[in-house]
Amino acid sequence: MSNSLEDKVIVITGAASGFGKASAIRAAQEGARALALIDKDDLTETAKEIGSYGTETLSFSHTDVTDEKQIKIAFQAVGDAYQTIDVVYSNAGILGRVSPIEDFSENDWNKTISTNINGGFHVVQAAIPYMKENGGSIIVTASVSGVRQFSQLGFTAYSTSKAAITAFARMAAYELSQYNIRVNSINPGASETNIFNSGSFSEQLDKLTPVHEVPELAIPLGKKKNQADAIANTFAFLASDAAKRITGAQIVVDGGETLLKG
């Protein structure tokens, strides 16, 4: 590895699994000074895996990004420990309810919106006081859904949330440029993660009929879904000084999927 993140203090939400866990391991491999891990689930396994790299670790298990107070407490603890934060990866998110629009309950809709939009807002807002002096990099996990791909029937809440958080990242990039804080989104395509474990599927989906046939895995590069390391590699680049002139970007990582399905 190149030690491209040497001495950086990094906060990652959704770090217990998937993109967040892979990115935390990559950050440790790249020489990060400290990693603050935030997740609703237990972080023991992630902390154990990064421990062998000599990176200091702060774990905030059972911390919900939708709870503004919990997130501020976590960031204050990181700030108190290190006086600065260099990189924030706002990765926590859910699939939520997959349902026809006419059958969507307000509660199900709000749960997805709250986690994927409000959660990202809380994380970015809480990070700013600890990044204003020295600048840094904020990265947000979005999706091709709602930005380039609209063929997934029933994904209205998820797609809306990912379109919104992509726009939020770009607006934040402009506003926070005065502090030399860069903000970019990673927009993955189909990926091998446990995202579907965070969703539920309406029995009414059967009544939705596609207007035309959409191939399930039309992916030009390798004809397979992303592995978590593809996102971790993108995170490591955007977090590093090699990306110091990149802000407001929407980085699509999909193996060319949306060239055919977007």
Catalytic residue positions, numbered:
158
Cβ burial, residue 226 (10 Å; 0-12/13-18/19+): buried
Lookup result for tokens 């006419």: 102
- Give Cα separations from 37 to 153, 227, 233 (angstroms): 33, 21, 18
Q: How many CB atoms lie within 10 A of CB 199?
A: 16
Q: How many CB atoms lie within 10 A of CB 129?
A: 13
Question: Residue 254 in 3-state DSSP?
Answer: coil
What is the gyration radius of the CA atoms in the chain, in angstroms?
Answer: 18
**CA dihedral (16, 20, 23, 24) positive or negative:** negative
Q: Give the tokens for residue 117.
A: 């939009």
Give 138's strand partners: 88, 183
C-alpha span between 198 and 16 (Å, rounded): 13
C-alpha span between 52 and 48 (Å, rounded): 8
